[in-house]
Every structure is written in C-alpha cells, then in structure tokens.
Amino acid sequence: MNWDDTTDTAAERLVGPVADREDQAVEAALRPKDLGEFIGQEKVREQLDLVLRAARARGATADHVLLSGAPGLGKTTLSMIIAAEMGAPIRITSGPAIQHAGDLAAILSSLQEGEVLFLDEIHRMSRPAEEMLYMAMEDFRVDVIVGKGPGATAIPLELPPFTLVGATTRAGLLPPPLRDRFGFTAHMEFYEPVELERVVHRSAGLLDVEIDSDGAAEIAGRSRGTPRIANRLLRRVRDYAQVKADGIITRDIAAAALKVYEVDARGLDRLDRAVLQALLKLFGGGPVGLSTLAVAVGEERETVEEVAEPFLVREGLLARTPRGRVATPAAWEHLGLTPPRSTGTGQQDLFGA
C-alpha cells in the first residue's frame, strides 16, 4: 500500500473531494515505513535496496534518485522510506513551488548533511532553478548572484552532501542534463490485482476492518492498478459496511458500496463513462476531435485529455488516432451498446469489420 499525496488525480474523482485532515492522517498511518513493508514494485525495491545498503556500508550519502510513474503508485512513500533507511531527515517540496533560483538556493543552503530532499513534480520546476540544481547535484555547490547588472558577482556557496529524490509523472519532460545527474532511476508500474489485494488486506488490518478475500478482490479490481485508489475505496466501503451492514466487507457489500460511489466493475467513474457514452451515442464511436468531445461532456479539454483518457486508453476502451478519438469494440461491449453496422468514418478500417 503505497501512494503519493499528489492531488487532482483519479483517486479524488473516485471518492469525492480531496481528503480532509482526518483522511490525510489515516493515509499517513497506512504508509509502509520500510522496504520490507512496501508491497509491489519488486524490481524497484530490489534495486533501491542495493543502492541504500551500499551507501550505508560506505558511510556515504545515497545517490540521487529519480522516481517516475503515474500518481498514486508510491513515489512519495518511497522517498520517505529512503530517508528512514538512511537514518536521515527529509525535506519535502515541489517543482511548482520553486519558480526562482533564489527559492531553490534558500532550500539547499538550509539542508543538513545527508538530508533527503524530495522534489515532487520536478519537471515543473522553473528553468533558472533547474540550471542551479545541476551544479548542486553534481558538485554540492551553488553560485549565489549578489547585485544586478555589470556589478553583479557570483558567490560560491558550498553545500553539505545530500540526496535528491525527484518524482515526476512525465519523465519525458525532464531535460537530459537533469536526468543524467541521477544515480538511480526507477519507473513505477501499475499494480496487478493480486498485489492490490495484499494492499487492501494490509490496510484493512491497520484500520481494524474485517474483510474477506472476495471483498478485497472486489475493491482491488476497481482500483485502476493504483494503491492510493485502493486505500481510499476501502475507506469508503468501510463506511458503507458500518452504516448499511454489520461492518464486515464481503464482495456483495463492496459492490453495493462502490455502486453508490459510481465506480463500476472496471474502475470507471462518472467522467470516464460520460466520455465513452458521448463518444458512442453522439458520435457513433468516432473519430471525433478532443475539443468536441470535451464540449459534449461539459468538461475542459485538458480534463478529458489528462484525467479520463489515460485510463480509458490503458483499458483498451478508447484509441487516439490522427483523425480523432475512436471507441474500441470493448467500449461498446462494456456499456452494453451495439455498434452501428457501418459508421461511415473509417472506424472499420481502424479495428476491423
């Protein structure tokens, strides 16, 4: 059970607004504290364990680490585990919060030796700050500019050795000079249902919730391969079980609860289904332009493209083509609709008659 604190993700859409303080406290309590507790991501765990154990054996600061992958897969959790495994404090910030080189210089100059600096959404950091980070990562030094114009001077500032843990959902946006300065790079994969079942069982134990194997499997199957979503759905199903049943989560209870929260058997929520329904019912399965599709569902173009589409594409329900968005045969089947015999748009050429 591993998930990040990034907001505005599918997790929030599936269970309502961003978690309040109580929910955030629960999430913090559910986080694994070391690599042994961390479920899934076996290759990343094995590789990271070697990096950290070797650094401890040398008595040195761990190499800089870059974690990439979709929101909710455990990047923030791993950063905290890295700090715990190294016995070091951790400083947490984000790329959007660092808009000037001076912002980064202030953070770097206050770091302690061996401290872990977690920089979330590192690809959104400003270019001046990014260029300052190059020297800080490689030489543990930054140049602070004092004054303006011809009289400006650069004062070198030595930094204590530290470990930067960068997290990004869009690794392709990182410039090569920045990527190359990380000693270890890991890509976080989506979880298999069996792994998410383990996540749900572990979280249920920590929450003192009684759940059977079928109930855990039902929640895991609707969690979009993401531990954060699995944990939040578990808490909502727990609420339903306490109010509507005897507090024990079974498959039927989980299914009934998730129906209330509009999460279907494949993990699609209201927005996902609205996009598919518009594509199928209004546009005959496509192709249709993204802007037109967004207007049809009453959402911004960016919302459809960045929030709904990735999961629909990954599930094989929607395809992006040069002519627009097209529904796959699986989309028609999932919504229980019959595709037209001929769309007249060339869709048969894309998926076969």
List the CATH number of the domain containing 219. Answer: 1.10.8.60
Inside any domain, residue 4 = no
Residue 150 pLDDT grade (very low, low, confident, very high; cuts 50, 70, 90): low
Active site residues: 75-76, 120, 169, 228
Q: Taking the CA of residue 185 as centre, how many other CA atoms within 13 Å lie in the half-sphere pointing to its CB?
A: 12
Average pLDDT on 95-123 reads 88
What is the maximum alpha-carbon separation in the chain?
75
Q: Final residue of a domain: which of 165, 187, 209?
A: 187
Q: Do 292 and 164 fall into the same domain?
A: no
Q: Which two tokens stand for residue 100?
A: 């000037």
336 pLDDT exceeds 70? yes
247 pLDDT exceeds 50? yes
Q: 57: domain range?
A: 41-187
> For residue 288, what is the domain's CATH number?
1.10.10.10
Q: Do 206 and 84 fall into the same domain?
A: no
Average pLDDT on 257-274 reads 89
4 pLDDT exceeds 60? no
Inside any domain, residue 27 = no
Closest Cα to residue 189, out of 313, 39, 82, 40?
A: 40
Q: Do 171 and 64 fall into the same domain?
A: yes
Top-ranked range on mean pLDDT: pick from 288-292, 305-309, 338-342 = 288-292
pLDDT of residue 19: 44
Q: Do 74 and 148 fall into the same domain?
A: yes
223 pLDDT exceeds 80? yes
Inside any domain, residue 164 = yes
Q: Do 136 and 48 fall into the same domain?
A: yes
Q: Could you give the number of structural domains in the chain?
A: 3
Tens digits of residue pLDDT in 14-24: 444 444 555 66
Inside any domain, residue 91 = yes
Task: Describe the crossing of helices 213-221 and 193-206 by its angle, rounded to 10 degrees.
Answer: 120
Q: Final residue of a domain: which of 225, 260, 295?
A: 260
Q: Is 214 exposed, middle or buried (0-12, 13-18, 19+ CB in 10 A)?
A: middle
Tens digits of residue pLDDT in 44-86: 999 999 999 999 999 999 999 999 988 889 899 999 999 999 9
pLDDT of residue 148: 64
